[in-house]
Structure 1
């Protein structure tokens, strides 16, 4: 019984020491501080006790890996996009054509409009109508065609991205 109490106290002391060390690390090095889940924000380090690093901008989360889709984009302010409106080429998909048009102002994408979305049947129309606002928002935020597909709308997303890239190419 006395041995268990001693071991329990030793483990508690060790836990306090580790927590105190991590808190001290966070206070003295906030850009590289490791959270309990093994991830950091910004361009710091990830992994347990600050081991391992990741490159690029964006943030790591959860497992200590960075999400490459939040990195730098190929089109943005000062990226060489010419102001104006540009309509991308129509992209044929299994469920119909997809075509988008962009508006560029101040070198940035300010609007993306779907000129045509998949229309093979009522279901594809419904899926496209659900996906289009999400894809629009992502394109404006990313300032590029490097956006994620919408779950359940893969064909629409891929056509949208293809047409968006075509419009961006015209704006360069």
Structure 2
């Protein structure tokens, strides 16, 4: 009986240690490369910019910032550019960049997410495998920008 109890306790401790292991963190990483740097720093709350027509429908070109979506590895925020009610560009204002692995993941995932968003013209896009948290934050921020734009 003692052996069984000991085996259960050791297994539980091992499982807790295994689940708390975070291989994602890398110490001693310098500044992120320019490819991942936000396009524009922002200290004020997100706002919509541009003009609206007489019926309240968007006209011309404007940009709308999405909410900052907090993820396990850091904040994600996007800005959409609109022309005549159509999304013409999605820029990443913030993305996790705390270590080399974050940068590597985002350099691969963010262009895919941008292309998906432009193709879908909505936040109903697939997650990028291996970048689940970033994908989730991206779609949440994108949806908030789309909601602000009234699309």
TM-score class normalised by the smaller sequence:
0.5 to 0.7
**Structure-to-structure mapping, 1:161-172, within 5 angstroms:** 161-172=139-150
> Could you tell me how far apart the structure 2 residues matched to 1:143 and 1:86 are?
14
TM-score normalised by length of structure 1: 0.52
> Could you tell me how far apart the structure 1 residues matched to 2:96 and 2:139 are?
13
The CA deviation at 1:81 is 6.6
> Could you tell me how far apart the structure 2 residues matched to 1:160 and 1:82 are?
23
Contact 1:81 1:104 survives alignment (8 Å) = no
Map of 1:122 onto structure 2:
100
The CA deviation at 1:114 is 0.5
The CA deviation at 1:140 is 0.4
Higher relative contact order (CA 8 A, sep 6+): 2
Structure 1: which 5+ runs fail to align?
1-79
Map of 2:73 onto structure 1:
95
Larger gyration radius, structure 1 or structure 2: 1
How large is the Cα RMSD of the aligned pairs? Answer: 1.4
> Could you tell me how far apart the structure 1 residues matched to 2:149 and 2:130 are?
30
Structure 2: which 5+ runs fail to align?
1-55
TM-score normalised by length of structure 2: 0.59
Report how many residues are paired.
Answer: 93
Q: 2:116 aligned with 1:150, yes or no? A: no
Q: 2:33 aligned with 1:82, yes or no? A: no
Displaced runs of 4 or more, over 4 A: none
Per-residue displacement from partner, 1:10-55 (whole Å, max 9, x unpaired)?
Answer: xxxxxxxxxxxxxxxxxxxxxxxxxxxxxxxxxxxxxxxxxxxxxx
Map of 1:135 onto structure 2:
113
